[in-house]
Copies of this chain bind each other. A is one copy, B any other.
Amino acid sequence: MAEDKLPTRAEDFSEWYNQLVVKSDLADYAPVRGCMVVKPYGWALWENITSWLDGEFKKTGHVNAAFPTLIPLSFFEKEKEHVEGFSPQLAVVTIGGGELLEEKLVVRPTSETIIGYMYSKWVQSWRDLPILIVQWGSVMRWEIRTKLFLRTAEFYWHEGHTAHADADEALEEMYRILDIYEKFCLEEAAIPVFKGPKSESERFPGAQITTSIEAMMWDKRALQSGTSHYFGTNFAKAFDIKFLNKKNELQFAETTSWAISSRIIGAMIMVHGDDHGLVLPPRLAPIQAVVVPIFKNDDEKTKVMEVADRVFAELKAAGIRIKMDDRDNVSSGFKFNDWEMRGVPVRVEIGPKDVEKGSVALARRDKPGREGKTFVSQTGLSSTVSLLLSEIQDSLLKRATEYRDANIHEPKDYEDLKRIVADGWAFAYWCESLECEAKVKEEAKATTRNIPMNQPDQEGVCIVCGRPSKRKVYFARAY
């Protein structure tokens, strides 16, 4: 309910975000430290996200399965980097059925270990490979500073875990998934992303390569929005995933894992949202259009509702996710604000004059006020609205891309880099040394985001140390 106004983004972006998540009815704070409740409106958005991704995974031969929520603590100790990365964040079950457990169990922070253990049982021959499994669910990481969707102790995600007979196939899988993630962001979430490998220091614990998609938020900070990892044989060795290859030799499998989490909802909020509230991309919006009938008395009500009901039925039949707001205890103005807060892409207003003229007013959420309002004929309305939804979808991506690109700069020198990352991203050659990366982190508070793929075959010099470099990297402050 949109009782009161948000602070503007310029006034206080963080507070704008915090209030918006709750006021738009996406989520609420749980009575458990650092956890959230995803409310029905937020979960419907998540279902639209998951349903698209699940469809793409299935098209590319993946299957879903479920592994236990609790994992023996000892499993984490089998891969050195993995245990170092996750130990500080574990929630540990020590009591079961009223008794102290001999073997402590961890509420899964990620499932490479237990899935690796099962794969070692399932894989004997090259004929058992590849295994392409996805698990949908939640995981738990004991975070200190939390923010709804962006960083919560429990969050929702899918985790893909695949095992392959050779490195080429595993690498191909890692990139195939990265492409699906990019496609999701561009076509569904209307968020432009850069994809490519992360630096060594930003890798997932235990990975040989971590690739990511990176997006720019309205405040110009970066958000890592999805990751796809190649483990080589690290986890296969830790969990003994071996198979007889075609030459009848025992060989370790090559594995990958990858994920997009409910964090992506945070990205949509921070990329598209405005000072009036959420702006949801039509392809994912739980409600794509809302019908608001406007009348002052019973006589008007009868006439208006007749048209409103017909319009509602027509749009619904056309497959548009449509809502009728016929509440009688709030004003039309209140309703407009309410649906703007919740980011519904199109508002269909119908008043007594529209009934006379055979028209309706369409208000675009991405262009609030007069600019986004048009009066159109009731005839052919479902096509008009469908076209408008497509136009809004395209327009959101275009706007976000222009905004992002306008805020990425190529620094002349290291001093320039420091200035740029205070209010944008820097794109610069980097020698890929840990030292130069650490220096930027320390002095400019910016991290390397990723080294985007498909760079032209050029050479330059590291923006920090001046040594020769072949690849540019994005530097930015990040969530």
Contact = CB atoms under 8 A, between A and B. Distances in A.
Interface string A106-143: 01000000100110011000010000010001101010
Given A31-B72, A105-B32, A127-B329, A66 B95 contact: no
Q: How many copies does the complex hold?
A: 2
Interface stretch (A86-94, A227-235, A317-325, A456-464): A86-94
B44 A64 contact: yes
Interface in A33-83: 33, 35-40, 42-44, 46-47, 63-72, 75
A133 B40 CA distance: 8
B94 A90 contact: no
Nearest to A95: B92
Interface in A138-173: 138, 140, 142, 144, 153-154, 156
A25 B28 CA distance: 40
A457 to B, nearest CB: 42
A380 interface: no
B66 A44 contact: no
A121 B137 CA distance: 26
Kindly name the residue among A30, A97, A98, A138 whose own CB sees the greatest number of chain B CB atoms within 10 A.
A97
Contact of A154 (B35, B68, B91): B68
A96 interface: yes
A114 B66 contact: no
Contacts of A133: 40
Contacts of A71: 32
A138 B97 contact: no
Contacts of A156: 66
A133 B36 CA distance: 16
A97 B90 contact: yes
13 contacts: A30-B118, A33-B96, A37-B65, A37-B67, A46-B66, A69-B107, A87-B98, A90-B97, A91-B93, A91-B96, A92-B95, A97-B142, A97-B144
Interface of A: 28, 30-33, 35-40, 42-44, 46-47, 63-72, 75, 87-98, 105, 107, 114, 117-118, 121-122, 127, 133, 137-138, 140, 142, 144, 153-154, 156, 329
Given A40-B64, A69-B69, 17 more contacts: A28-B121, A30-B67, A31-B117, A32-B68, A32-B105, A36-B68, A40-B63, A40-B133, A44-B64, A69-B107, A69-B138, A69-B140, A70-B140, A90-B98, A91-B93, A92-B96, A137-B138
